[in-house]
């Protein structure tokens, strides 16, 4: 049991490193070509709503986030709501973040000439990040399944 837990712990450590690399790559890419989206949430990579918004935009924008403004706010929010379960959320989104992401779709800041390629790469990295998070959740489930059960009951007092 302890050997299995040790091996699962090593796997978890590697997956945490992979997830961290994905977050750093995404932050670097977005800071270069679309920095405004990073300001849409206080801690964007911890927000399921922000991650779902980003996934919707990157999957559909073809290098130009402003294209999604044509959807309109309500259709954008509906698309984010459908995407949210893939990121660990329920169908209830945090509306202020979704509205901020929608507002920055047309933001021109960033290196425009690099945007199409960088956003395509960001989409691929975001999908890698989602897959790593799923493997991390599976590993955590396996770890809790093999952890020894510790009784909280006190031993009987000797008289």
Q: Do the domain assignments include residue 154?
A: no
Q: Do the domain assignments include residue 153?
A: no
Q: Do the domain assignments include residue 152?
A: no
User: According to the 3-state scheme, what is the secondary structure of the chain?
Assistant: CHHHHHHHHHHHHHHHHHHHHHHHHHHHHHHHHCHHHHHHCCCHHHCHHHHHHHHHHHHHCCCCHHHHHHHCHHHHHHHHHHHHHHHCCCCCCCHHHHHHHHHHHHCCCCCHHHHHHHHHHHHHHHHHHHHHHHHHHHHHHHHHHHCCCCCCCCCCCCC
Q: What is the reported pTM?
A: 0.84
Number of domains in the chain: 1
Q: Do the domain assignments include residue 51?
A: yes
- 63: containing domain: 2-146
Q: Do the domain assignments include residue 79?
A: yes
pLDDT by 10s per residue, the chain, length 159: 788 888 989 999 999 999 999 999 999 999 999 999 999 999 999 999 999 999 999 999 998 999 999 989 999 999 999 999 999 887 789 999 999 999 999 999 999 999 999 999 999 999 999 999 999 999 999 998 876 654 455 555 555
Q: Do the domain assignments include residue 142?
A: yes
Tens of pLDDT, residues 119-136: 999 999 999 999 999 999
């Amino acid at each position: 049991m302890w050997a299995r837990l040790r091996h699962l712990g090593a796997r978890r450590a590697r997956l945490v490193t992979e997830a961290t690399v994905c977050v750093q790559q995404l932050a670097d890419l977005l800071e270069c070509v679309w920095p405004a989206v990073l300001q849409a949430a206080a801690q964007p990579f911890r927000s399921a709503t922000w991650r779902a918004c980003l996934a919707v935009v990157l999957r559909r924008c073809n290098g130009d986030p402003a294209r999604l403004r044509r959807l309109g706010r309500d259709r954008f929010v509906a698309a984010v709501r459908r995407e949210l379960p893939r990121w660990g959320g329920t169908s209830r989104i945090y509306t202020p973040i979704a509205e901020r992401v929608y507002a920055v779709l047309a933001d021109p800041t960033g290196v425009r000439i690099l945007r199409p390629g960088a956003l395509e790469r960001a989409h691929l990295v975001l999908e890698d990040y989602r897959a790593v998070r799923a493997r991390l959740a599976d590993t955590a489930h396996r770890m809790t399944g093999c952890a020894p059960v510790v009784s909280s009951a006190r031993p009987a007092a000797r008289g």
